[in-house]
Amino acid sequence: MTRKLRTSIIVVLLICMSVIVYMIQFWIFRRPGDTGFYFLEDLAFVPISVLLVTLGVNTVMIRRDRKAMLEKVSIVVNEFYAEAGTELIAGLCGYLVNLDDLAGHLQMSGRWQDTDFNAAKKFLGGNPIEVDIDGNDLNILQNLLENKKDQLLRLFENANLMEHDAFTDMLWAVYHVYDELRSRDAFDNLPEADRKHLNTDIQRAVRLLLIEWIDSMRALKVRYPYLYSLAVRKCPFGKGIITVES
């Protein structure tokens, strides 16, 4: 029996039950005027009932669907950092001039709370990330991004990530660095304008990668504290205290 047929049978049965109840009422009380009055009164309230039920059910369903979608997005983001993001952070941070200063604020531990995660994001937002590609081998970075390219492209195909604009912006920033590097035949004797442009691109990619990484680690600590413990051990800014408080 198809779903459409089952629905039709249920509708017919409900209508028949309603007719039977009205017939019983008329047969017992013999007051057709009252029956008609209350029928019309109840009928007048049906649209309002439908409206209230529809709004209520839709609100609950939308919240449930959004919660489920955010859960899927969180899993995708965490998987990205486990498979590629942490390695990308480590590779890109090799071009940072003030890496030691950053590391001091981003060395996570199992004891971190919301205030610690917020402080780390505030530090990134209020302090410059200094990048200098001079003296570094950009071929290494290009090879790293080349190896992670397929993972980045697969994430762009994930429809759930459309609700996560910040994460998508981060992916574009990282991919843009790769696009800039592969568009050059060699990295020797780059013009000053090109060096400044690459410094800016790497700076933007690192900042967005770190911000999303902080949010990812915060969500991981709440939902999966033991996975968070593992992620802390792989922290690209040094090993923190990995005891996770329940």
Domain count, the chain: 2
Confidence (pTM): 0.70
Q: Taking 60 as the threshold, does the pLDDT of residue 235 lie above it?
A: yes
Question: pLDDT tens digit string along 30-84?
Answer: 777 776 777 777 777 777 777 777 777 777 777 777 676 667 777 888 888 888 8
Phi first, then psi: what are they for 134, rounded to 5°?
-65, 135
In a domain, 171, yes or no: yes
- Among 143, 152, 147, 195, CA closest to 176: 152
Are 107 and 12 found together in one domain? no
Compute the average pLDDT of residues 182-188. Answer: 86
User: How many CB atoms lie under 10 A from the CB of residue 3?
Assistant: 7
Are 45 and 84 found together in one domain? no
Are 9 and 116 found together in one domain? no
Are 102 and 136 found together in one domain? yes
Are 129 and 215 found together in one domain? yes
In a domain, 50, yes or no: yes
pLDDT computed for residue 176 by the predictor:
94
Total residues found in the chain within this entry? 246
Are 186 and 135 found together in one domain? yes
Paired strand residues for 96: 131
The Cα–Cα gap between 198 and 202 comes to 6
In a domain, 239, yes or no: no
Q: Which residue has the higher pLDDT, 142 or 18?
A: 142
The Cα–Cα gap between 58 and 62 comes to 6
Domain that holds residue 37: 3-61
Mean pLDDT of the chain: 82
pLDDT computed for residue 163 by the predictor:
67
The answer to whether 174 touches 145, Cβ cutoff 8 Å, is yes
In a domain, 223, yes or no: yes
Which of 11, 28, 61 finishes a domain?
61
Are 8 and 101 found together in one domain? no
Provide CB contacts within 8 A for 219, sequence distance 6+: 74, 77, 78
- Three-class secondary structure assignment of the chain: CCHHHHHHHHHHHHHHHHHHHHHHHHHHHCCHHHHHHHHHHHHHHHHHHHHHHHHHHHHHHHHHHHHHHHHHHHHHHHHHHHHHHHHHHHHHHCCECCHHHHHHHHCCCCCCCHHHHHHHHHHHHHCCCCECCCCCCHHHHHHHHHHHHHHHHHHHCCHHHHHCHHHHHHHHHHHHHHHHHHCCCCCCCCCHHHHHHHHHHHHHHHHHHHHHHHHHHHHHHHHCHHHHHHHHHCCCCCCCCCCCCC
Q: Which residue has the higher pLDDT, 72 or 115?
A: 115
In a domain, 245, yes or no: no
